[in-house]
Structure formats: structure tokens, C-alpha cells
Amino acid sequence: MTANLLDYDLEGLAAYCEKLGEKRFRAVQLFRWIHQKGEQDFDRMSDLAKSLREKLKGHARVQPLVPVSEQASADGTIKWLFDVGGGNAIETVYIPEDDRATLCISSQAGCAVGCRFCSTGHQGFSRNLTTGEIVAQLWYAEHFLRRKLGTTERVISNVVMMGMGEPLQNYSALVPALKTMLDDHGYGLSRRRVTVSTSGMVKLIDRLAHDCPVALAVSLHAPNDDLRDNLVPLNRKHPLDELLDACSRYLAFAPRDFITFEYCMLDGVNDQPEHARELVQLVQHHGGHGIPCKFNLIPFNPFPESGLLRSPQHRVQAFAKILSDAGIVTTVRKTRGDDIAAACGQLAGDVKDRTRVGERIARQRTIMLKPVHDRQGDGST
């Protein structure tokens, strides 16, 4: 079977070329053709020796993903559905803004973490994506957008691994993909502008710090273990103390001097003033010195299976004010692409669930959390 060259970072491609009897500089040339120029046809790679082109035609291919559909939002957001075989499809989202252009990339077909507020998790889990399938999302989007905009300059400035899946559960494929994104011969993205979002894979956060430290976002969503156990099941394995310790260790290697905490605002569940005050206590006093961080408050995008509702705007703003008044940088994420189901937590693709995650979530709904105001008439924690 021929090798898909999108599966290799530059070191991997150099090793592959060495097996073909070629020097390292040929791998650099080839890498540039594939990623900087978006070329698939070896015959058009004009500065490669003809003998190498012939070898490549017999042993290798550049295999991108084929979009099944493309949807454009009124706000400029674009969502692509890519077929990854076996009855599975993944989603990738492009979000243009005045000062940046962000691509939200998937790492798995589905997700096994099963967070209550995420529609991807409710679809279940099929498989990890390959390195080539992760990179192919950027390859396609970057070169599609260049053609559309009539430019040879780089379009995508930021990548967030916040699409379908838990990126750190697909670690062996993720790291070479990140290295390709960062490589100056590839996409040349800054470590500060590539973000891995995790629900709390503690040991793998530590590995990432040494293997490929990029910006880190942690899906927090609760200020205490009891609440987070119900919202983010992974918390039962890696409770908040362990997770925040890992965040502290990561900062020694991170390209930014803070951790971003993602917090999805759920009506009556985690959005009360006492939750905000508890968060302040948690991050400012953990380990005796606190954790430099910023909070990104995310409006929940409801879907029927969740049984949850979006917090009203006035409560989100009040929550943000408590954090800000405590000196914590806090933003409220703009909802982008919700008219095409491309907003945070909405990516679901089409997944053949082989783990029955969906069934387990359905059973859990019988013991779902009641809103705070239903549980405690005085509104206290």
C-alpha cells in the first residue's frame, strides 16, 4: 500500500525519503510542495529530480480529505463535513475575524469523553483520526481559501484542536500533526497560535509539555469535583487538584504565560454567583500561589438530548464581572456559525458509535443534575 505523505511531519518525511535513497534536502523540498503550495501531483513538483518523482509515483500519494458538504454562515464562518470512511464523517470549521482567521480541527470521529453539554459526545465514538486526516483538514481549508480569496499568502493564522474528539486521547497522531502545523517549511504557525483543548488528560498534558508545547485550553466547566464529575466524566479519574497541578507544570514549557480555562454556561447548573466566587478561590489559591489563567465563558448551544439550557445573558455578564473584579482576564465567546450548527459544542458529524457511549449517556439522563434553584431554595452551595 502506498504511503500518504500527509501522515509525516518533516522528520518522518526525511526518514521516508532516506528509505528511498534520497537526501534530507529532498524531503524539505517535498514538504514545501505539499504544505506550502498544496500540490498533490508529483509531476508538477518541478525542482524534484525526475528519478525521485518516479519513485514517489510508485510508492506514495498525497491523500486529502474529500468534503461531503460545505455550509457558509451569514457571519462568514464555513463548516466542512469530510468523509473519513467506514460510515464516519467529521466536521471542520473556519472562523474569520478582523485580526485572525481560525480553523477548528477535529482529532477523532466522535468522542468517548461524553461531556453532558457537547453534542459530539452524544454521538459516541468510532475511531481516532490518523495524522494525515488531522493535517488534511488544514491542508484543504488553507488552499481552498487561498484560491477563493485569490492570494498566495497564508490565510489561516490560528488553529484550535477543539473540533470533534479529545485530542490528547489521540496523542500519537496529534503530535506529528502539530509539528507539521508549526514547521516553517509547512504552515509556519506560531506555538502561541496553535491551541490544544483537553477535558483533562493529566499524564498526557505532562507529555505534551515536553514533546510539543503549544497553547493549552482546559475544559473546566465547574468549580468543584462534585459538579464537574457530572458534567465532565473524565473528572472522576483526574479530579481538579490533579488537573490544576498539571496545568501549573505545563506553564514552565508553554508559549504563553497563562492557561485558558473554557467554561460553558449552563442555566441553573454552573452559572450562579457562588460558582464564580468558588472559581476565583480555586484558581487564585491552588497550590498556595494560584495559576495564571484567563477564562473563556462559552454560551451553551442547546441540543435536545442534553436536557440543558443556555444561561441568560445577564447572568453570564454577572458571572464574568465577578471573575474580572477578582483580577482574572475574562472573555465571553462570541457565538459564531450557530446558524449552520458550527458553534462550540455543536459539531456532531456522522459517527458509527462502536463504544455505546450514546447509550450510557442516555442512561445517565435518568440521574441528571437538577438546576441549583430546584435543589436548594436558598441558592447557596
Q: Which of 328, 248, 253, 230 is nearest to 287 (CA)?
A: 248
Residue 286: how many other CB atoms lie within 10 Å: 18
| Residue 91 is a catalytic residue | yes
Extract the C-alpha cell encoding 290. 494560584
- Alpha helices by DSSP H, listed for 73-150, are 119-123, 131-149
Q: Using the CB atoms, write b or e for 327-365: b if 16+ within 10 Å.
A: ebebebeebbbeebbbbbbbbbbbbebeeebbeebeeee
Active-site residue identified among 17, 22, 91, 104: 91
Over the Cα atoms of the chain, what is R_g? 22
Q: At what angle do helices 273-285 and 313-325 cross, to 10 degrees?
A: 30
C-alpha separations of 52 from 13, 41, 42, 246, 271 in Å: 14, 13, 9, 46, 60
Phi, psi for 215 (deg, rounded to 5): -65, 145
Q: At what angle do helices 273-285 and 240-250 cross, to 10 degrees?
A: 50
Structural contact between residues 159 and 195, judged by C-beta atoms closer than 8 angstroms: yes
3-state SS assignment for residue 247 = helix
Active-site residue identified among 104, 115, 118, 344: 344
| Residue 305 is a catalytic residue | no
CA distance 13 to 59: 13
Q: Which of 215, 285, 223 is nearest to 250 (CA)?
A: 215
Q: Which of 202, 204, 195, 243 is nearest to 220 (CA)?
A: 243
Q: Which of 236, 123, 220, 106 is nearest to 174 (CA)?
A: 106
Catalytic residues: 91, 344
